[in-house]
Chain A
Amino acid sequence: MLLALILLPAAAGLVCLLIASDPARRAILIVTAALEAALSIATWVNAPPAQFGGWLAEDALGRLFVTLTSVLFLACSVYAVAYLREEREKVHSDIEEGFFFSNAREASFTGCLLLFLSAMSLVALSQHLALLWVAVEATTLASAPLIYFHRHHRSLEATWKYLLICSVGIALALLGVFFLAVAAIRPGDNAVSLILADLLKDAPRLNAIWLKAAFVLMLVGYGSKMGLAPFHTWLPDAHSEAPSVASALLSGALLNCAFLGILRAHEVCIAGGLGAFSGGLLLGFGLLSMGVAAAFIVGQSDYKRMLAYSSVEHMGILAVGAGIGGAAAFGAILHVVGHSFAKAMLFMVAGNLLAVYRTKTSNDVSGALRIVPVSGLLWMLGILAIIGAPPFGPFLSEFVILKAALDQGRNFVAMAYLAVLAIVVAGMSAPAMAMAYGRPRTGGTEPVRQSIVFSAVPALCCAAILVIGIYLPPVLNRSLHEAAHLFSRG
């Protein structure tokens, strides 16, 4: 069952790269995505046994991440098919500089989407830390062609930065994995197991200095992929140039996978009695990311870049939650779910606005509520959700993290956290609301018709974050607590 979760999308991806018919490929994309989502939900009912001597296993964190990824992927694939149908024409004119460009072949787009899904499932399910590394690097390679879908110089520049920064970062994470192996070596015995369960069992005997060095390297390595400041520089470029549906997946699913890599290292540190060390580093990088993101969100003129910096901010929140530990760990895990759906929804809606207004500058978009009523409404709701307004999911999780910080007497952390959140609320809501309201500037004031899929998919995401914010189903609640317990430090 676990193997199927990884091999099914990989096989479908390879088939997509080989066959010639566009409609068949789109059908394969949707069918595979639906099967994958069904499979991952089935693992909630029937816990699958570990495979290959514990290399692949589904713990609470893995189950949550693989399900979240596959459900989000299903939503994105439905949107992607509608998007690809619109993008059929051969030549497009660039919206910023007016030159003409063509798209990459659709085969490579759908194929890479599915390979990307396979790599992300492997990240969630692998319990062997070196295998986890292989999977994270594979996600970089499978997603790079998605960013370079529109063949022009800006997307190429974004792809290049993404490839280089992430690959270099991840190479450091591999060094971290090796350091971890050194920490586990006992004199006279070279057999080291990098399987998480074994490491956790042996953790008290791990060499502290090497373990610390390993955590730092893995935090820097996976952190550059996750978008923690100051290693986030690839993120705004990639998110603003990639097709909106790819941005939705990058932000909603890929960043989580990198976070999972850091959490695994954090788990080992906690078991080895170094939880205060690794937690402190996570807290520091988290606050720094939030601060840097807030500074760039204020006055940001490009609304896709604004969303990208908001991802940096939310990754910071996740790191802060994991760093504080205790009840905040639950907040962080809940925030993973809320942020994924909210950000995926916002990127899809941003794609709708981009298609109608043909500009990424927020000042040039106005009256969205009149021109594209549904997308305009979803845009407003999404922005409210992402800045942490009740009753949406992110409000609840941000509040849980704040409360945990105060309960633990970390008043300065709580103050900094609140200050940054306030700045982000101001920085994001002003331009976003101006985009929704206001007098339509371009051409007529008649509503523009868009395919129902373009609004239905983000609307479903919106419903999901609303449900989490109001009523957490007991199954989900229990599972979130189980997942949080793995890294909550008591």
Chain B
Amino acid sequence: MNQVIDSILILLTLTGFVLLGSSRLAACIKAVGIQGALLGLLALVVQSGDLSITGVVLALIGATVKGILLPVLLFRAMREADTTREVEPLISFNLSVLAGALELAMSLWIGRHLRLPADPVSSFFVPAAIFTILAGLLVIVSRRKAITQVIGYLMLENGVYVFGTAVALRMPVLVELGILLDVFVGVFVMGIAVFHISRQFDHIDSLRLASLNDRV
């Protein structure tokens, strides 16, 4: 069982690298969708010892929202924003991947020092979670387009969710659903905002959203 969990976590990390290195928006959205599906799988495998109906249903709902619904939303936002389909990074893709490798090293180091008190199912849980969070932050700050920032935010949420799964703590159903609903509505509202930005400005370049500042 540990091997399955380890392979899921490694796949998760790899999709993170795919996202950092790809130049096509569609590929990025697909990568973040695959992450969402992997998270659902992870939640299922982790609780495989004592499977409960609510646990399975929650994992399935999570996988559907993060793996299918949100990517579809993002694809729609991309089409309606009618933008070029390139990512337009502020730093080169090579540099992105290199920074990603540094982040991975950092997460492994943090994972060695920040040990889960209960015996962890896999020692790769904490590093994978922290790497996904850091990579999400990297995507947010190093890409021009508003839509890529939404993708980065989603990736960051995925990382937090990995950590939640790692603790394997049984959050009450209501809270799990609440968190999922917040993420869903969040991405939905951001998608609408991206659409308005494209209509208002004829671009979704977040760097050019700079008319508000302090004229001291």
Contacts and interface: CB of A to CB of B under 8 A. Distances in A.
Interface of A: 128, 130-131, 133-134, 137-138, 140-141, 144-145, 148, 152-154, 156-161, 163-164, 167-168, 171-172, 174-175, 178, 181-182, 185-188, 190-192, 207, 209-210, 213, 236-237, 240-241, 296, 299-302, 305
A178 B214 contact: no
Contacts of B157: 171
B160 A175 contact: yes
Contacts of A305: 214
B212 interface: yes
Interface string B142-160: 0000100100010011001
B212 A158 contact: yes
B185 interface: yes
A301 B216 contact: yes
A141 B181 CA distance: 11
Contacts of B117: 182, 185-187, 207, 210
B164 interface: yes
A133 B181 CA distance: 12
Interface stretch (B17-25, B83-91, B165-173): B165-173
Contact of A163 (B164, B168, B190, B214): B190
Contacts of B114: 209-210, 213
B171 A157 contact: no
Closest 5 CB pairs of A and B: A134-B178, A137-B182, A237-B212, A130-B175, A157-B209
A164 B140 contact: yes
A269 B137 CA distance: 28
Contacts of A207: 117
Nearest to A173: B160
Contact of A141 (B164, B178, B186, B212): B186
A213 B172 CA distance: 23
17 contacts: A128-B172, A131-B178, A134-B179, A153-B211, A156-B196, A157-B212, A161-B209, A163-B186, A163-B189, A163-B193, A164-B190, A167-B186, A178-B164, A186-B118, A192-B167, A213-B114, A237-B212
B124 interface: no
A137 B214 contact: no
B197 interface: yes
Given A154-B212, A187-B119, 19 more contacts: A128-B175, A130-B178, A131-B174, A153-B200, A163-B189, A164-B153, A171-B153, A178-B164, A185-B167, A190-B168, A190-B170, A192-B169, A209-B114, A213-B114, A241-B212, A299-B216, A300-B214, A301-B215, A301-B216
B206 interface: yes
A144 B153 contact: no
Interface string B176-207: 00110110011001100100110011000010
Given A134-B179, A178-B160, A153 B189 contact: no
A174 B179 contact: yes
Nearest to A189: B118
A182 B167 CA distance: 7
Contacts of A174: 160, 179
Contact of A191 (B116, B170, B193): B170
Nearest to B164: A178
Nearest to B215: A301
A156 B214 contact: no
Nearest to A162: B193
Contacts of A188: 118
A79 B121 CA distance: 56
Contacts of B186: 137, 140-141, 163, 167
Given A154-B212, A301-B215, A175 B133 contact: yes
B168 A240 contact: no
B193 A156 contact: yes
B75 interface: no
A182 B172 CA distance: 16
B163 interface: yes
A192 B169 CA distance: 7
A104 B119 CA distance: 53
Contacts of A302: 214-215
